[in-house]
């Protein structure tokens, strides 16, 4: 790692902290920037840089490794493939999904469980 990469990493970490503080403050971006003497364009520039860095990190993850949100676990098959069944475990809840399931009901259940995480 060269000096430029280290400096960029430090800047990204600094701005990530600022953005976390902004979210924790409950202020809008405009209000937070004004209160802290930060130009809104500067804030959005670093927000874009952080998103790009996050996208690069995600792209670097091998395709055989599942990306799972916090509080969730990876989908696992619980029966032979011919039975078309799988089990989801979300925040301690277990959902068995079988062939012919109601997609709207599943989406509603997942949304509800996601909000309780």
How many helices and strands in the chain, by DSSP H and E? 4, 2
Predicted pLDDT at 65: 56
Predicted pLDDT at 106: 75
22-81 pLDDT tens trace: 999 999 999 999 999 999 999 999 999 988 888 887 776 665 555 556 566 555 555 555
Give CA–CA dist 23/100, Å, rounded.
Answer: 41
Higher pLDDT pick, 9 / 86: 9
β-strand partners of 87: 76, 96
| pLDDT above 60: residue 95 | yes
Q: At what angle do helices 29-36 and 40-60 cross, to 10 degrees?
A: 120
Two tokens at 3?
């000096």
Give the residue extent of every domain in the chain. Answer: 3-60, 66-117
Two tokens at 25?
């403050």
Predicted pLDDT at 114: 67
């Amino acid at each position: 790692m060269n000096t430029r990469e280290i400096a960029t990493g430090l800047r990204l970490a600094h701005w990530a902290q600022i953005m976390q503080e902004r979210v924790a403050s409950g202020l809008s971006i405009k209000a937070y920037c004004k209160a802290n003497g930060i130009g809104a364009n500067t804030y959005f520039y670093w927000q874009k840089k952080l998103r790009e860095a996050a996208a690069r990190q995600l792209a670097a993850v091998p395709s055989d490794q599942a990306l799972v949100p916090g509080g969730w676990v990876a989908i696992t098959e619980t029966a032979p493939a011919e039975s078309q069944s799988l089990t989801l475990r979300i925040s301690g809840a277990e959902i068995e999904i079988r062939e012919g399931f109601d997609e709207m009901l599943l989406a509603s259940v997942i949304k509800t469980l996601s909000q309780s995480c």
